[in-house]
Structure 1
Amino acid sequence: MDVKTGLFYLFAAVLLFAAFRVITARNPVYAALYLVLAFFQAAAIWLLLRAEFLAIVLVLVYVGAVMVLFLFVVMMLDINVDGLRQGFWKHFPLAAGVGALIALEMAGVLMGGFRLAAPRSAMVGGPDSSNTLELGKLLYTGYLYPLEIAAVILLVAIVAAIALTLRARKDSKYQNPSDQVRVKARDRVRIVQMPVTRAAQPVAEQPQASAETKA
């Protein structure tokens, strides 16, 4: 067994362990951190397969953006873990059925075998060609229209998210920037004349209290 095979088994073992801990960890923060570890191990396997672009995209997009956002959301929200686990056994048969179906589909694909063929980079640009360069050429030539359609869909999703966030609601409190700009100094500060503070008058002693003192 060479070094590359040993690294593959090491990364695969850590990946399986991290994926198992994602679904078994009781703390949501620990589950998110284990998912980050799983992403890193998957990126390392992509590097072993000479898919540098996919490895960098996996680290930058999922670990650097998506998982950091998930981690901040999980840490900022007060999630009641006990409440989430109340319906576990209720939904377990459905989840087990879906998992078994996915396992059967993956087994059907894997048992069919893999078709070994020459890599795309070797057929197009030779063995010394860059994987990222060939992927970029293929993406912006043969798949240009699907790429533009996906960009338009993402743009529409961004605009829709902004529109849903900035819509006027009855229970939301917001300020009008135009009114803030037109405000004047006399509207911000108002001087009120108050009477001069007087010294407190001494309180006369009660007769009952003086009698108790003499006794």
Structure 2
Amino acid sequence: MNPTSVLFYIFSAVLLFAGFRVITARNTVHAALFLVLAFFNASCIWMLLQAEFLAITLALVYVGAVMVLFLFVVMMLDINTDSLRQGFWNHFPLAALVGAAIAIEMAIVMKAGFNLPVAKAFDPAVLKLGNTRALGVEIYTQYLYPLQVAAVLLLVGMIAAIALTLRHRKDSRYQNPAEQVRVKASDRLRLVKMAATVEQPSAPKDAEGGQA
């Protein structure tokens, strides 16, 4: 067994452990940190497979941006996890059945990927520029339509998330620039005529502080 295989099994074991702890950790922050560990180990596995672009993308995008955002949201919201865990075992049989169905479907789909014929060789001119260029050529030629479908799905999901979270608060105060432009001087200043009043003189006080 060569060192690459040893590192692969080590990273795979840590990845499986971190993924298991993500769904079993009671603390939400701990679950997010275990997910960061899982992403790091997946990035190391891709590095062993000589997919440097995917490894660096996973480390920078998911670990460096997405997970940091998750941690900020989890810490700022202060979600009560005890209330979310109520009734967990009541819904566990249905959740286990759905999870088993999804796992079987994924196994059937992935099984076909192991029976592929020998992959065609890349153009030597492309390989000289690195696997990032080769990945880009494959995505934007052979897998262009699946890429467009994925982009449309992500766009629809982003618009739906914005629409679901958009709420008009009645207690918020904001300014309308259109009304500010249309304002007139007579609207800003109002003259009020009031009757004159005469101040009454106060009564003199004696030496003891009482009124005379």
TM-score exceeds 0.5: yes
Aligned runs of 1:47-62 on 2, under 5 Å? Answer: 47-62=47-62
- Structure 2 unaligned segments of length 5 or more: list them: 189-207
Contact 2:127 2:134 in 1 (8 A): no
- Structure 1 unaligned segments of length 5 or more: list them: 188-202, 205-215
The CA distance in 2 between the partners of 1:92 and 1:178, in whole Å, is: 55
CA shift, 1:20, in A, is 1.2
**Residue equivalent to 2:123:** 125
TM-score (norm 1): 0.68
Contact 2:39 2:62 in 1 (8 A): yes
**Residue equivalent to 1:136:** 136
1:80 to 1:111, Cα distance in 2 relative to 1, 3 A: same
Aligned runs of 1:30-179 on 2, under 5 Å? Answer: 30-105=30-105, 114-115=114-115, 117-119=117-119, 123-126=121-124, 128-129=127-128, 130-148=130-148, 150-151=150-151, 154-155=154-155, 169=168, 171-173=170-172, 174-177=174-177
**Residue equivalent to 1:18:** 18
The CA distance in 1 between the partners of 2:104 and 2:119, in whole Å, is: 28
CA shift, 1:32, in A, is 0.4
CA shift, 1:145, in A, is 4.7
TM-score (norm 2): 0.69
The CA distance in 2 between the partners of 1:98 and 1:159, in whole Å, is: 28
CA shift, 1:103, in A, is 3.9
What count of residue pairs does the alignment treat as equivalent?
Answer: 190
**Residue equivalent to 1:199:** none
The CA distance in 2 between the partners of 1:161 and 1:171, in whole Å, is: 21
1:81 to 1:148, Cα distance in 2 relative to 1, 3 A: closer
The CA distance in 2 between the partners of 1:14 and 1:35, in whole Å, is: 11
